[in-house]
């Protein structure tokens, strides 16, 4: 287990290093926006990674509701935590990119920006619930919140296909105009972020399992403890 984590850590470090070089130096400079466009190589892969983590959170939450499986609940919690981190990167890098290009930090009427912010707030609420609620039904309520939040992911992703607001039209997929060299750098960065997310989730999983085991043992001891 430790050897596998060490290998993953090394692979992640190498990928992040290569991705950084490619994003800042290797990728061609975009003609219209210039070097500020290089935020793209962090903004988009962060969003994709967050979406994937929220999808895993959704599946794990459904499994927990159906089977009351503790491991599924742990996976749901961890992927929500890491997903919020990557979604925060999206929320932060978006305005930094928008300011020199649009002339404003935030466009309140933009559908993609608004739905992304809503997505982030839903999962922040999920984590606050998991952290501070003492109800015996906390995990169940949180799973319902997670399922509700996951419904916002497709809306965020497809919003620029259905609505024409401040956010630019798609440059990837049908009708896209992304340079093949940019596409290559984008995939390298996404691979690096996926490995990083995997590493963080893996590192976070074992302590959470141990914590649950300790909590269960303490709860059992309190039930078995004889009144004085």
Give residue-wise pLDDT tens across range 130-165.
999 888 899 999 999 999 999 888 888 776 666 566
Q: Which of 40-44, 100-104, 201-205 has the lowest mean pLDDT?
A: 100-104
Distance CA 95, CA 90 (A): 9
CA dihedral sign, ordered 163, 95, 57, 144? negative
Q: What is the pLDDT of residues 10-26, one digit of tens each?
A: 999 999 999 999 999 98
Range of the domain at 76: 11-168+185-203
Whether 221 is covered by a domain: the verdict is: no
Whether 121 is covered by a domain: the verdict is: yes
Q: What is the pLDDT of residue 160?
A: 62
Q: What is the pLDDT of residue 190?
A: 96
Structure token pair of residue 46: 């962060």
Q: What is the pLDDT of residue 176?
A: 55
Residues in the chain: 228
Angle 81-86-90 from CA coordinates, rounded to 5°? 140
Whether 98 is covered by a domain: the verdict is: yes
On the question of pLDDT at 36 being above 90, the answer is: no
What b/e sequence results for 168-185 when a residue is b if at least 16 CB atoms lie within 10 Å of its CB, and e otherwise? Answer: eeebeeeeeeeeeebeeb
CATH of the domain at 88: 1.20.120
Contact between residue 13 and residue 197 where contact means Cβ atoms under 8 Å apart: no
What's the number of domains the chain is made of?
Answer: 1
Whether 214 is covered by a domain: the verdict is: no
Between 179 and 150, where is the model more confident?
150
| Mean per-residue pLDDT, 174-196 | 86
Whether 158 is covered by a domain: the verdict is: yes
Whether 217 is covered by a domain: the verdict is: no
Work out the mean pLDDT of the chain and round it to a whole number: 87
| Mean per-residue pLDDT, 166-172 | 59
Upper half-sphere CA count for residue 33 (Cβ side, 13 Å): 17
């Amino acid at each position: 287990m430790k050897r596998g984590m060490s290998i993953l850590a090394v692979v992640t470090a190498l990928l992040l290093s290569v991705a950084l070089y490619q994003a800042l130096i290797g990728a061609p400079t975009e003609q219209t926006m210039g070097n500020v466009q290089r935020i793209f190589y962090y903004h988009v892969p962060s969003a994709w990674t967050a979406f994937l983590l929220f999808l895993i959170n959704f599946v794990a939450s459904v499994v927990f509701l159906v089977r009351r499986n503790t491991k599924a609940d742990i996976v749901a919690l961890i992927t929500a935590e890491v997903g919020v981190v990557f979604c925060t990167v999206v929320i932060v890098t978006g305005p930094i990119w928008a300011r020199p290009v649009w002339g404003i930090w935030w466009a309140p009427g933009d559908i993609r920006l608004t739905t992304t912010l809503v997505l982030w707030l839903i999962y922040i609420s999920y984590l606050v619930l998991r952290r501070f609620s003492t109800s015996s039904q906390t995990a169940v309520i949180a799973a319902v919140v997670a399922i509700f939040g996951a419904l916002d992911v497709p809306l965020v992703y497809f919003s620029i296909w259905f609505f024409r607001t401040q956010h630019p039209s798609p440059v990837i997929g049908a009708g896209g105009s992304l340079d093949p060299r940019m596409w290559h750098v984008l995939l390298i960065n996404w691979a690096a972020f996926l490995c990083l997310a995997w590493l963080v989730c893996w590192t976070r999983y074992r302590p959470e399992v141990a914590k649950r085991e300790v909590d269960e043992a303490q709860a059992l001891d309190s039930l078995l403890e004889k009144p004085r």
